[in-house]
Amino acid sequence: MNAPDRFLKFVVPDGEARTSFIRDTKIERAGTYKVLCEDHTLGNLLRMQLHRNPEVLFAAYQVPHPLANHVLIRLQTTRKSSPTEALKQAIEEVRGEVDDLKNQFVNQVINMQQMAQGEAGAMGQGQMNYAGGY
């Protein structure tokens, strides 16, 4: 088959940086980041986060080809910020949101486990469970 090995989607080749920046020569405070071993998931997530920043004038991403294991993130900022600062801020904000989501998930799992243990204890004492049985 002509498809590359699947592990190449996740392993950065030796001697290559995971990210690189290509400054735009025609537009001030603009450029393109190439991020290896990533796809639409990261590209769209960062694009949406960059759009929330009022210092970002333009943000878009592209996966050049389905077999290409990288994403291109293009952005332009105002004079108050640089593309690197805006991208770093977007990454930190996404990390914070992911941490919040993880904490909420863990808390809900703990609550569900406590409820299940409470129901098991209540059923052992002859009380009714939610299904209406004993």
Residue with the larger pLDDT of the pair 8 and 60 = 60
Separation of alpha carbons 44 and 12, rounded Å:
21
Which class in CATH covers the domain with range 6-123?
alpha beta
Q: 82-130: per-residue pLDDT in tens?
A: 999 999 999 999 999 999 999 999 999 999 999 988 877 766 655 545 5
Give the CA distances from residue 36 to residues 2, 6, 32, 61, 114, in Å, rounded to whole numbers and listed in that order.
Answer: 20, 14, 13, 13, 43
pTM: 0.77
Inform me whether the pLDDT recorded for 2 exceeds 80. Answer: no
- Percent helix, strand and coil across the chain, each rounded to 5? 45, 20, 35
Query: What counts of helices (H) and strands (E) characterise the chain?
Result: 2, 4
Q: Where are the domains of the chain?
A: 6-123
